[in-house]
Amino acid sequence: MPRPTLIEVAELAGVSKSTASLALRGAAVSADARVRVQRAASQLGYVYDRAAAAMRGARSGTIGLIVFDLANPFYSELAAGVSESLEAEGALVLIADTREDTRRQSRFLTRMREQRLDGLILCPATGSDGAELRAQIPEDLPLVQALRHVDGLTSDYSGAENAAGTYAAGRHLIELGHRRIAFAGSSDATSVQRERFAGLAQATAEAGLGAPPVLHCEPTLAGGIAAAEAALAAPQRPTALVCFNDLVAIGVTLALAQHGLTPGKDLSVVGFDDIMEAALRTPALTTVAIEPRQLGRRAAELVLQRLDSPGGAPRSSSQPARLVVRQTSCAPPSNGHGHV
């Protein structure tokens, strides 16, 4: 009797030859594909020759993950979700942090290509150019953009309902009676910033308030402190701030405390992300919750699906955004600008 072949195993399992090879060597494929391939191999009496596979240049079982701010707890959680899902499938995850530097991003992409990646999950750095990234990433490499997406770079995408989240935050503040609401962050540097500003702008426009002013700041604690100082110095002081993320919002609360002001009494503050520190602060931060770990898990699933089915249109997934009302949002002060 002739020895069974890998092609026969793949046909019986209903997968491609490359997926069958990946499954038999313990690399990154979906759990369902792995079970079907192992069952088909057992039924046919197929024995996988690892040495021969290595000689043929089999896949590496390695997935790259490039993020832009591991110091932010949100992105650490996202990375944890990616790692948990891929390591459960037998894949090794290589993680790099660009620190929002496109030059570092380019260097990491070069180094990761040298590792013969099976796939890549990319959280693009601010200022990323779609055409440049497309030139740096092989067309046949499974790619998932996570949280942010770059114009001109077509790929699978795992993100969040950013606009819906800030829209809900804006409606919450308007229903409390706020009419001077500002956005603390940037309104256009990345896809996420554009979406979060747009959601708030929609809420204020529907209430007849016009576009919210933007207190431009970095998405950091220091940025939040700077935004709060700008808000307090404004001729028409906002009564509420919707912040790009929780780090900015926490920075705002720190600055308010330095001025003897109380978040949720003298100025309402709403964050975004719902990192662990948001609920632990005093007063606890009103924020918009998305699940970064689940966002990471979904990005990992998309990479596995693309490995299993290389063709087809790009797939997209968005985590729901949920307003979590705590103590830093309230009706505006009766004097319209808080106590000084």
Model confidence pLDDT, tens digit, residues 243-299:
999 999 999 999 999 999 999 999 999 999 999 999 999 999 999 999 999 999 999
Please report, for the domain that includes residue 95, its CATH number: 3.40.50.2300
Question: Are 285 and 228 in the same domain?
Answer: yes
Per the domain annotation, does 129 fall within a domain? yes
Per the domain annotation, does 331 fall within a domain? no
Question: Are 98 and 41 in the same domain?
Answer: no
Question: Are 212 and 118 in the same domain?
Answer: no
Question: Are 192 and 227 in the same domain?
Answer: yes
Question: Are 95 and 152 in the same domain?
Answer: yes
Q: The whole model's pTM is what?
A: 0.81
Question: Are 286 and 234 in the same domain?
Answer: yes
User: Collapsing DSSP states into helix, strand and coil, what is residue 336?
Assistant: coil
Question: Are 170 and 274 in the same domain?
Answer: yes
CA distances from 258 to 11, 181, 220, 268 (A): 68, 21, 18, 16
What is the rounded distance in angstroms from the CA atom of residue 88 to the CA atom of residue 29?
Answer: 10
Question: Are 121 and 219 in the same domain?
Answer: no
Per the domain annotation, does 339 fall within a domain? no
Over the chain, what is the mean pLDDT? Answer: 91
Per the domain annotation, does 249 fall within a domain? yes
Question: Are 86 and 154 in the same domain?
Answer: yes
pLDDT digits (tens, 9 = 90+) for 90-146: 888 999 999 999 999 999 999 888 888 999 999 999 999 999 999 999 888 999 999
Q: How many folded domains does the chain comprise?
A: 3
Question: Are 299 and 151 in the same domain?
Answer: yes
**Residues in contact with 214: Cβ distance below 8 Å, sequence separation at least 6, in sequence order:** 182, 183, 185, 186, 187, 197
Full domain range(s) for residue 231: 162-290
| β-pairing verdict for 322-324 and 287-289 | antiparallel
In this structure, the dihedral spanned by the alpha carbons of residues 246, 220, 294 and 289, taken in order and rounded to 10 degrees, is 10
